[in-house]
Amino acid sequence: MKAAGRLLLGLLLSSTVAWADALTELQTAIADTAERVKPAVVSIIVEREVTAVAAPTPSPTPAPSPTPPDGEHFGIARGTGMIYRATDQYYYVMTNAHVVREARGNDVKVQIIAEREEREGHVVAYDTRTDTAIVRLERRPEDRLATVKLGSPAGLRVGSFVLAIGSPFGFEWSVSLGIVSGLDREIREPTNGLPANRRPETYRGLIQTDASINPGNSGGPLINLAGEVIGMNFAIYSPGQAGNVGVGFAIPVDRAARAADDIIAYGRVKRGFLGVMVSDLDQVARQQKVSLAELRKLLGVDAGAFVSQVTPGAPAATAGIEAGDVIVALNGNPVSGSGSLVDQTSVVAPATEVEVTIIRGGERKLVKLVVGELPAAPGAEAPAVTPPPRRLPDPLGLKVAPLTAEQAAELGLGEQRGVLVTELNPASPAAALGLVPKALLVRGRRDDQTVVFETVEAYEAFMAAAATANATVQIWFYAPPEQPGGAWGLRSLLIKVPKPAEGND
């Protein structure tokens, strides 16, 4: 008996030591992960109108400071951001739209905590549907700022460890530990304080966490123990309180990253558009005062998005989709309801052909259509803002202007987009290589990256980065027809971009 007791005591002691070792390893992993990610996390300071409407998201909106003296009507708001991407010319910081949407002149202060310095930042654009914004910083030759590493929220499980990093209440680089409390959550933006021309957003597919998120954390990363960003913190649920009660929400990073990429490339987020108004089946049943079982039997379907209205001339109408149809799949992926259809459609690139499965009169039909581009709702998205006033001469010796839809139609370019060459130095290397006045520049390629010139800003950013690196690039352009009634010809040229001289155009 004594021997058995000693054996049991030994096993207990051995188990205790093993647990202590495991906890020590976990503690070290958490601390190491936070140290790796923190250098890419910044604080954002926004000067805004105190009298302006509050940031409308159900989130820890940056709290304004007391009204400044001398009768000024501006307040200071604070949030968090993460350095998302670096180019030769800029650093791009991802944050929440509600953090920066009221910034005076679209300019903010960005505190680079790792460098202990404050820099000027410029809001490129923001998107309220994903509550995502991009702030641009000028890159200095000596800069080696860290960028975040993106992970995938696809493998998350309820109970997975996560860390939230941010500047709650101005306490920089605060780290909180928690778990994933829930997945695929949905919350609706409160209506109080919203502009009259904007409807409240519904945010779906959210990550719920009990990691402490407070005012000032908005726009900061939610990371896994591998140090990968899997979400962007943006909201808390705290009825009757101003602080955290253990119910926070993050936007999945794949959605935020897609919005960020579009903002950087186009100055807006491109979304697919079918042109249908849809409802969930249970909502239709309530409206029509019938039971859900009766409705399902009548329609011959258990779940889907009920089409209540089709926009004339929209892709759905052109393809033959009718009011009363039920959309049950998009490209073979099941559609469980209206929210599911909206989410799936929004990530399809405009001009992409898709297959829509519908149920009509109990029969399944497959419809093909080309997705359009969803127009921006009033007040839902900030347009691309003008670049800073200081500019450099074009390194190719030309000037460009945006191509309007009216100009495209007049020139016979149809839906083609790009930037028009309004002036060209005939002695420039580009002219010698075949570029002609009034050409339409459509895209450029450097190394393995292709940039579509949908805006003047996209073209200028591409050329500025190429000039800084003295890089060789390939540029595609449409040359105007040589004879009246002729066709525009697509051409390309290869050119080594010289570094431009300082100056103003």
Neighbour tally for 98: CB within 10 Å: 27
In sequence order, what E strands does 167-287 have? Answer: 174-188, 202-209, 221-223, 229-236, 248-252, 272-273, 276-280
In sequence order, what E strands does 19-114 have? Answer: 41-49, 74-86, 90-95, 107-112
Tokens 């649920």 correspond to: 237
Beta bridge partners of 108: 121
Short-list 350, 310, 312, 356, CA closest to 333: 356
| DSSP secondary structure letter of residue 68 | P
Task: Report the distance separating Cα 357 and Cα 40, nearest Å.
Answer: 44
Q: Which residues are the active-site residues?
A: 98, 131, 218
Name the burial class of residue 108, with classes exposed (0-12), middle (13-18) and buried (19+) by CB atoms within 10 angstroms of its CB: buried
Neighbour tally for 156: CB within 10 Å: 19
Name the burial class of residue 361, with classes exposed (0-12), middle (13-18) and buried (19+) by CB atoms within 10 angstroms of its CB: exposed
Task: Report the distance separating Cα 221 and Cα 264, nearest Å.
Answer: 19
